[in-house]
A and B are shown apart, each in its own frame.
Chain A
Amino acid sequence: MLENILRTLPQVLFDGITLGTVYAVIALGYTMVYGILKLINFAHGEIFMTGAFIGTAILLAFSSLGWIGTLPIIILVLVAMFLTAGVTGAIGVGIERIAYRPLRKAPKLIALISAIGISFLLQDLVRFTTEFANDGNFYLIGPELFKSNINVPLSKMASFLSDASFKTSFLFVLVTAVALMIILDVFVNKTKWGMAMRAVAQDRDTAALMGVNVNKTISLTFFIGSALGGATGVLFAVQYGTIDPYIGFILGLKAFTAAVLGGIGNIRGAVLGGLIIGVVEMFAAANLSTLTNHVIGAEYKDVFAFIILILVLLFKPEGLLGKALHEKV
């Protein structure tokens, strides 16, 4: 049994890390907003989903223009991501203005309910628009972009390993997600507005006394978080092909779990949490059946993210890299 697990481990790790980076980038959106407003932006999963639809629509448009196949695919996907990020970023800013800012002095629970309301609104809006534009279907199938597979002949290197293989889209997702995280890290730690974001997160009033425009900084945070979420939606669509308006819910929950696991409010924690959840999930998918003698199948893999969430909340509620917080939502 152990042999089996070891055999597939390289593949599990690769898939898990790729999935983990997707969770990580979405988790960044939760954690940034929580850091600055102490609010769980429940609608963030839906921003991701909206991004997946906008990106797919753009790619379908490229396809009908005949650009796919003539222009380099990586460039086209990056352009789609960039445009989508702009739109979802703007949606995020709008949501904050309309649904959260008026409630800033209200109890956090009220804002949370407002966030859940926005989630449903986005789901229905996307569903309605898609059905309208897509002959009554609410799911969307994107153009197939990365067709090739890459094989890594691990068994030639070590006889106890199986070969690993992955779609080139995985590699694209991995590289892009890592690049997004590096850009964000540099922005937050090295630029003036990144410093303003950290200052507002640590002490809003004092940041204002320094001359920081707090509302502008909060809008910026929503823009960046939502732009990242939308861009990741495009990555997801590219990787999995078919999307529906409800993909944001479970993915959002898992990404949120990743944020809590790493320590909500902590940017590097979100990345760590995302990677852990991604790897655990893939490990479970590959090995659950073997480990339980076929009693529990791979379809139960989703449970693990939430088991981790419960364990974290019980034993280390501040998360792996988080500090003990005074206020909990």
Chain B
Amino acid sequence: MTHLLEVKNLVSHYGQLQALREINFHIDEGEIVSLIGGNGAGKSTTLKSLSGLVNVTSGEIKFLDKSIVNLLPHQISAMNITHVPEGRRIFPEMTVEENLYLGAFNVRDKAIIKERMEKGFEYFPILKKRLHQKGGTMSGGEQQMLAIARALMNQPKLLMLDEPSMGLAPIIVDQIFEIIQELNKSGITILLVEQNAYHALQIADRGYVLQTGEIILSGTGKELIENDEIREAYLA
């Protein structure tokens, strides 16, 4: 069986700095895969390489058996690979509604856009009440919800979330993680980047541990939670 996403010997640089050193991993359809690691490990760089924001130096990325290496971000987005960036990156001067419309930039049909918007409100009812509020004036938790709802507008086949729990109150974090699981049950494959390793591994089918640009460990979520090294480094 071929994987939904397959990454082979991926190397990425920022100028002279090598951020990823030949990393290998894959994601199968229907999985939640968590990518964990400390600050500066290269987690965000991995997602940016997949979504086209960072130029790949060498290696291969295949999505549904097609190479997507160094396609432009909008081309990758059109393949329904959807990246929710670190820090949510809501358009601050635009309303919630406009942010959602932008999420569906690849869609022409207004009826489909409306339909997806309603679907998003089922997960995040609060957004419906805030439709005309400027994105920048929303709370952190609301912005994260909007960021995920905005990504859903693209009907992702692969949803990549970069630290969705960052800076949020525990109760909101629980809520977000629950919704991630629900989304996965509805058929969306998820690549979850987290520093909140315990939480992320708990809901993951499989996980990878990244350290200074290299994958140093992998396994099922359960295996990794029980791994002593990980307990010490990330779950203490």
A residues engaging B (CB < 8 A)? 192, 195-196, 198-199, 202-203, 205-214
Contacts and interface: CB of A to CB of B under 8 A. Distances in A.
A199 B53 contact: no
Contacts of A199: 91, 94, 102
Given A212-B74, A213-B74, A214-B74, A207 B94 contact: no
A213 B102 contact: no
Contact of B89 (A195, A198, A203, A213): A203
B116 interface: no
Given A203-B91, A210-B154, 18 more contacts: A195-B94, A195-B101, A196-B102, A198-B91, A199-B102, A202-B92, A202-B93, A205-B73, A205-B89, A206-B85, A206-B91, A208-B53, A208-B72, A209-B51, A211-B74, A211-B154, A212-B102, A213-B72
Contact of B93 (A196, A198, A205, A210): A198
A211 B105 contact: yes
B52 interface: yes
Interface residues of B, number: 24
A211 B83 contact: no
A208 B74 contact: yes
Nearest to B81: A209
A195 B51 contact: no
A6 B193 CA distance: 68
A208 B89 CA distance: 12
A211 B75 CA distance: 7
The main secondary structure of chain B at its interface with chain A is: loop
Best-surrounded residue of A207, A209, A213 (most CB of chain B within 10 A): A209
B143 interface: no
Contact of A205 (B53, B78, B154): B53
A227 B105 CA distance: 26
B106 A209 contact: no
Contacts of B53: 205, 208-209
The main secondary structure of chain A at its interface with chain B is: helix
Best-surrounded residue of B89, B94, B105 (most CB of chain A within 10 A): B105
B73 A209 contact: yes
Interface in B81-123: 82-83, 85, 89, 91-94, 98, 101-103, 105-106
B91 A202 contact: yes
A285 B140 CA distance: 53
B77 interface: yes
B49 to A, nearest CB: 13
Interface of B: 51-53, 72-74, 77-78, 82-83, 85, 89, 91-94, 98, 101-103, 105-106, 150, 154
A258 B211 CA distance: 51
Contact of A210 (B52, B92, B102): B102
A199 B106 CA distance: 14
A203 B150 CA distance: 15
Contacts of B101: 192, 195
Given A202-B92, A203-B89, A213-B74, A208 B106 contact: no
Contacts of A196: 102, 105
Contact of A208 (B52, B98, B103, B150): B52
Contact of B83 (A195, A207, A209, A214): A209
Nearest to B52: A208
B159 to A, nearest CB: 12
Contacts of A205: 53, 73, 85, 89
A-B pairs with lowest CB-CB distance, top 3: A208-B73, A211-B77, A211-B105
Contacts of A211: 74, 77-78, 105-106, 154
A10 B51 CA distance: 59
B35 to A, nearest CB: 18
A304 to B, nearest CB: 32
Contacts of B73: 205, 208-209, 214
Contacts of A209: 51, 53, 73, 77, 82-83, 85, 89
Contacts of A202: 91-94
21 contacts: A192-B101, A192-B105, A195-B94, A199-B91, A202-B92, A203-B91, A205-B89, A206-B85, A206-B89, A207-B102, A208-B53, A208-B73, A209-B51, A209-B77, A210-B102, A210-B103, A210-B154, A211-B78, A211-B105, A211-B154, A214-B73
Contacts of B77: 208-211
A159 to B, nearest CB: 50
